[in-house]
Amino acid sequence: MTSPKTGIYTASLTPFTASYNPNAPALISHVEWLLDNGSDGVALLGSTGEANSMTIEQRQEIIEKSAKKLPVDRLMIGTGSCSLQDVVRLTKASIDAGVYTVLVLPPFYYKPQSDESVIRFFSELISAVDDSGLRIVFYNFPKFTGYNFDHNVLNQLKSNFGEIAAGIKDSSGNWDNMLAVAQNVPDLMVYAGTEKFLLEILKNGGAGSITATANLLAAECQQVFQAWKNEQNQDAEHKQKKLTLLRKAFESYPFVSGLKSIFADQKSSAEWEHVLPPFDGLNSDQLDELKENIKQLGLDLSQRLN
């Protein structure tokens, strides 16, 4: 059995072939690089991984192939779907592969969702999977799902499911919500969905971050985490300020488009050129602007990626 870790999780990109099939060998190489360059763990098949634009068979293939090559105790698998049966199927596939920590969106197409309906969804999932080793990290992304996990519903989930209700990735961008969860839900691992809040969530009892831009900035995230861990408060604040500026440089564009365009440009590799609809790569002017903004903040892309 594996459980989620404290620290820095990268929400991994997924490389694709020209025919829009996942490029599993390239993904495995990327995750190995992430684990060697500042990531304590890697979350596969999340929003950054374009998971909900894939078929369930493609997602299962990634689960099975990744778990055979990568350390399962450092992986987290996104199994969210509108279909409860698909979530069950993917969660079972993850456990069968040895990865017990799953990142799960609430059902997100039909709205509004009530707290009762979301609790029922997770109750049905846990009952169907029927494995005490399961560890669910709830994925709070109300911009896309239309539903917000607040501390009241999370306390109910924790009360109902104990250790299985292991944590939350809060991508709401709402610090007050994140803080309320950290302060009011005992024994729940709270991960900031943006590294802008990394230091603040750590100072308030959180577990770390799960973030898209750690595909490029995991080292900077890890520097903040280590400075906080070692009680180097002034250094942690200084490093957090730089990290926040780097994160903001990406926020003018969809993270998948911006990050994949940077990787494709720096690595001259076709594996990063392909994005699934509705995404598209950055045009040349956008890419030049993003690269210049990153350069001005002191990050040498050629050194980082080559």
- Using DSSP, state whether 251 is helix, strand or coil: coil
Does a structural domain hold residue 199? yes
In a domain, 154, yes or no: yes
10-residue mean pLDDT profile of the chain (306 residues): values are 91 97 98 98 98 98 98 98 98 98 97 97 98 98 97 98 98 97 98 98 98 98 98 98 98 96 92 95 97 97 93
What CATH number did the domain enclosing 21 receive? 3.20.20.70
- 3-state DSSP helix/strand/coil percent for the chain, to nearest 5? 55, 15, 35
266, part of any domain: no
Phi, psi of 299 (to 5 degrees): -100, 120
Evaluate whether residue 182 is within a structural domain: yes
Residue 27 domain flag: yes
CA dihedral of 124, 130, 134, 136, whole degrees rounded to 10:
0
Tell me if 143 is assigned to some domain. yes
Domain interval for residue 94: 7-230
Is pTM, for the whole model, over 0.95? yes
**Residue 254 forms part of a structural domain:** no
**Within a domain: residue 278?**
no
Residue 1: what pLDDT? 65
For the four alpha carbons of 248, 223, 34 and 163, in that order, the dihedral sign comes to negative
Domain count, the chain: 1
Q: What is the DSSP letter of 105?
A: P
